[in-house]
Amino acid sequence: MPRNAESIAFRSALEVIRGVEPRVADAIGAELADQRESLKLIASENYASPATLLAMGNWFSDKYAEGTIGRRFYAGCQNVDTVEALAAEHARELFGASHAYVQPHSGIDANLVAFWAILADRVEAPALQRAQARHVNDLTEADWFALRRELGDQRMLGMSLDAGGHLTHGFRPNISGKMFDQRSYGTDPATGLVDYDRVAEAAREFRPLVLVAGYSAYPRKINFRIMREIADSVGATFMVDMAHFAGLVAGKVFTGDFDPVPHAHIVTSTTHKSLRGPRGGLVLCGPELADQVDRGCPMVLGGPLPHVMAAKAVALAEARRPDFAGYARQIVDNAQALAEGLLRRGATLVTGGTDNHLVLIDVTGYGLTGRQAEQALLDSGIVTNRNAVPQDPNGAWYTSGIRIGTPALTTRGLGTAEMDTTAELIHTVLSQTSAGVGPDGTASKAKYVLDPALADKVSRQASELLTGFPLYPDVELG
């Protein structure tokens, strides 16, 4: 392939877009420029390959394809069948699963498919059949509570939000919290680590239908063999949401007890984050749940997105290449180097370090809230997101933590030496930022004070650090 093929492809696409709405073309170009210049440390973000990006911009976008392979509600889906089958095949081979469902539009959708599959498999009730016949968006709040009463108030046990769990694991603001009576397990207050004995005790007391493992802000491995034993001890279905660490599973960094696929009844994931694919989701399961999972559309999902399934097939094929394992290993090496660099400079980290792709900084040691730290870092060319820490005194909006991750910078080629420099830049900003004062003269949880000259200096240093690691080096837009 000519080295300029990617430039030609993206430049031509922008010219076509500019002919209709130039402001959209300008925004797309500006986004690439912004991403090239900033240190992207959001743990849930990455950079998809040009092949993956290009696979989404084509005529598959125009096709309706409700149903599953060979059983569509629309005619003319033979080419959609091809790309969906390829994506499912790559997912099965990559993760060693017997069945893969690649239609979910997101991780939330993948979780909804899994929840309904579990309920359909475990619960026989006219209410469930009626709910399956209607789209979930048509169900009112009263419908959900009536359904839960008829289903026997089914229970879910998952990791608490402040310990690193996710909103979709049964919490009330999310639809999963309307489907299940939820209880959380936390982490040990002294160590921040999962205490499996406490999880087992909570399971024995609560008797959940579903035990969920997985996280969005827990910087350590989870022993899925032990979690499966806990689920089996109370007759629960064991579900793992590996959205964040799927790339570490695919790259064989997480193996044995730390690979969820051999131990869980059902596994969900996104296809972006550490897996480095398009924004979307997937579900892996054994044959006992396969039929129910394949009913995700129209039970939960609207029409599948064939152009995104095509991109999933490309990204999953990329993840099966030998070099992906090296990439996954480097993600963890970089995260550990970043954690060590922060610790040497006096930062406080939840659990004292990391085993995976993310680091959680408790910024109260800097006298800041997560919201203040997030914005001060953004002003300085460092993109992160605020996140709660265990027993967070500032709640889920302001928070006391900053979550950072290494998948994106690792994709750009940065290594452990650059992670130490990154730690220095983060520490410099946080140590030179102070809490601001609100209109009433009291300390603000949102306002902050940072010398603009320092922010500009760090931003330039971040840009200089990235100079040797160009993003999409074969793509020139002008």
443 CB neighbour count, 10 Å cutoff? 12
Q: How far apart are CA 118 and CA 289, in angstroms?
A: 7
| Residues 187 and 283 both lie in one domain | yes
| Residues 244 and 343 both lie in one domain | no
Check residue 152 and give left, alpha or beta (phi > 0: left; psi -120 to 50: alpha): left
Catalytic status, residue 66: yes
Q: Where are the alpha helices (DSSP H) in 196-255?
A: 196-206, 224-233, 246-250
Which position among 241, 294, 355, 362 bears the catalytic label?
A: 241
Residue type, 338: L
Two tokens, residue 155? 């229970």
Closest CA to 408 of 457, 345, 307, 338: 338
Q: How far apart are CA 192 and CA 219, in angstroms?
A: 9
Residue 92 forms part of a structural domain: yes
| Residues 413 and 271 both lie in one domain | no
DSSP string, 373-403: HHHHHHHTTEE-EEE--TT-TTHHHH-SEEE
- What is the per-residue pLDDT for 126? 54
Distance of CA 460 to the CA centre of its chain: 29
- What is the per-residue pLDDT for 130? 57
Closest CA to 44 of 161, 162, 166: 166
Which position among 45, 66, 143, 229 bears the catalytic label?
A: 66
Residue 462 forms part of a structural domain: yes
Q: Which residues fall within 8 angstroms of residue 16, CB to CB, at 6 or more apart?
A: none
| Residues 364 and 389 both lie in one domain | yes
Q: Where are the alpha helices (DSSP H) in 136-273?
A: 141-151, 176-179, 196-206, 224-233, 246-250
Q: What's the number of domains the chain is made of?
A: 2
Residue 395 forms part of a structural domain: yes
CATH number at residue 267: 3.40.640.10
- What is the per-residue pLDDT for 146? 59
Residue span of the structural domain in which 122 resides: 59-319
Report the residue count for the chain.
Answer: 478
Q: How far apart are CA 478 and CA 5, in angstroms?
A: 14
Catalytic status, residue 84: no
Two tokens, residue 215? 């996280």
Last residue of a domain, one of 319, 338, 368: 319
Residue pair 80/306 in contact by the 8 Å Cβ criterion: yes
Which position among 220, 279, 403, 445 bears the catalytic label?
A: 279
| Residues 111 and 198 both lie in one domain | yes
Residue pair 324/57 in contact by the 8 Å Cβ criterion: no
Which position among 270, 354, 369, 410 bears the catalytic label?
A: 270
Low-confidence ranges of the chain (pLDDT < 50): 1
> Residue with structure tokens 């806990």?
230
- What is the per-residue pLDDT for 474? 87
Closest CA to 320 of 251, 383, 265, 410: 251
Residue 45 forms part of a structural domain: no
| Residues 341 and 297 both lie in one domain | no
Residue 158 forms part of a structural domain: yes
Catalytic status, residue 140: no
Q: How far apart are CA 154 and CA 475, in angstroms?
A: 51
Beta bridge partners of 100: 284
| Residues 313 and 326 both lie in one domain | no
Last residue of a domain, one of 299, 319, 339: 319
3 CB neighbour count, 10 Å cutoff? 8
> Residue with structure tokens 């694991």?
169
| Residues 104 and 127 both lie in one domain | yes
Residue 219 forms part of a structural domain: yes
- What is the per-residue pLDDT for 142? 63
| Residues 128 and 274 both lie in one domain | yes
| Residues 177 and 223 both lie in one domain | yes
What is the value of pTM for the model shown?
A: 0.90
Residue 41 forms part of a structural domain: no
Catalytic status, residue 188: no
Which position among 40, 273, 386, 403 bears the catalytic label?
A: 273
CATH number at residue 331: 3.90.1150.10
Which position among 18, 64, 122, 143 bears the catalytic label?
A: 64
Residue 53 forms part of a structural domain: no
| Residues 362 and 315 both lie in one domain | no
Catalytic status, residue 270: yes
Q: Where are the alpha helices (DSSP H) in 75-206?
A: 78-95, 107-122, 126-133, 141-151, 176-179, 196-206
- What is the per-residue pLDDT for 132? 57
- What is the per-residue pLDDT for 298? 82
Last residue of a domain, one of 319, 342, 371: 319
| Residues 189 and 286 both lie in one domain | yes
Distance of CA 418 to the CA centre of its chain: 24
Classify 252 as helix, strand or coil.
Answer: coil
Q: Distance of CA 136 to CAs 143, 182, 257, 328, Å?
A: 10, 19, 35, 37
- What is the per-residue pLDDT for 452? 97
